[in-house]
Amino acid sequence: MYNPQLDADGNLKHLLTIEGLPKRILNQILDTAETFVGVAERDIKKVPLLRGKTVCNIFFENSTRTRTTFEIAAKRLSADVINLNVGTSSQSKGETILDTVDNLIAMHADMFVVRHAQSGAAHFIAQHVPDNISVINAGDGRHAHPTQGLLDVFTIRRYKPDMHNLRVALVGDVLHSRVARSEIHALTTLGVPEVRVIAPKTLLPTGIEKMGVQVFHDLKAGLKDVDVIMMLRLQNERMNGAMLPSAQEYFKTFGLTQEKLKLAKPDAIVMHPGPMNRGVEIDSSVADGSQSVILPQVTYGIAVRMAVMALLGGGQSAGTAAGGLLGSGFPSSLQSSAGGTA
């Protein structure tokens, strides 16, 4: 089956969604990320892999944290980084997505990191760009956020290496969460035998069982004997209409407290993709407690994003890439007339 994320040799070409990525590729990304964890612990936190390459962070939707982690990852690979908050620039002047992208291609960008409120935006851009450019989806609508999903499974693998013997629970607003979708795909592909989702009916998409998960509407029942608890953020800004009585009411039934955490295995880890709503989905004493790995998630997120960029950025001779760009980017008449003037 044609997979736009893989090239003819089966190597990663774009990272758009975890859905449909073979286990081999997921493991390759996670194994490569192990190497980059060490790089961040050195005095000189930089390697020369992407020297001379330009990474463009195109954010049609604001996200300071995600943009910052991609920026740090690219800079630690020695790439030049350009950040575009398109929401506040050209698009508000009426430019289309593809015009924005074409302009960046003309500036010889090598990699795009794309965040957009519309599902499928990164996919759309990936289909448009020439062969030598890679696209990374940094979150598209409710669809996917693959690097977040990967960093979560990377964190799990670091604390619980035996993935084939784990019980993982995702708690909260699954309906609006692209992170949840990416995580479920990653966990099931890597062979985690039991993935649970715990949420009120109004915050679950219909047919979620088809993704191979067990559904719980009671937090206490769902947390019993789990190894990993992944809290999801209550997406206030995505909620149009009253799906919940109130934030306080939500905390009472679905907020993770020390008392409820005791129902999980004693060595269970607590995760959160951030930003946290303390006192809404998670109690402060849990977020800052000994079982919380929320800050290591952030650290590993950089290593995972470095791994993805490093896998996408190599393996193509620079000569061919430049030729391909000129060939597809500019009409030949333009090039020959330029030659004539000289």
Spatial neighbors of 82 by CB under 8 A, at least 6 apart, are 54, 55, 56, 57, 104, 109
Residue 275: is the preceding peptide bond cis (ω within 30°)? yes
The answer to whether residue 66 is catalytic is: yes
Q: How far is the CB of 147 from another protein (least distance, A)?
A: 17
Q: Does 39 bind another protein (CB under 8 A)?
A: yes
The answer to whether residue 128 is catalytic is: no
Q: Does 311 bind another protein (CB under 8 A)?
A: yes
Q: Does 310 bind another protein (CB under 8 A)?
A: yes
Q: Which of 22, 130, 275, 315 binds another protein (CB under 8 A)?
A: 315
Q: Is residue 171 within a helix (H) or strand (E), and if so which, with residue range?
A: strand 167-171
Token pair 């997921």: residue: 26
Q: Which is nearer to another protein, 319 or 331 (CB)?
A: 319
Kindly name the residue from 14, 53, 67, 145 that is annotated as catalytic. 145
Q: Does 247 bind another protein (CB under 8 A)?
A: no
| Strand 54-59 versus strand 80-85 pairing type | parallel
Q: Which of 6, 49, 72, 263 binds another protein (CB under 8 A)?
A: 49
Handedness of CA 69, 203, 221, 193 (dihedral sign): negative
Token pair 């003037």: residue: 341
Question: Nearest Cα to 29, choosing from 314, 309, 272, 271?
Answer: 309
Token pair 């519309």: residue: 118
Kindly name the residue from 13, 14, 53, 66 that is annotated as catalytic. 66
# residues near another protein by CB under 8 A: 23
The answer to whether residue 51 is catalytic is: no
Q: Please report, as ranges, the residues that interact with another protein according to CB under 8 A.
A: 11, 28, 31-32, 34-35, 37-39, 42-44, 46-49, 310-311, 314-318
Question: Looking at the annotation, which residues are catalytic?
Answer: 65-66, 93, 115, 145
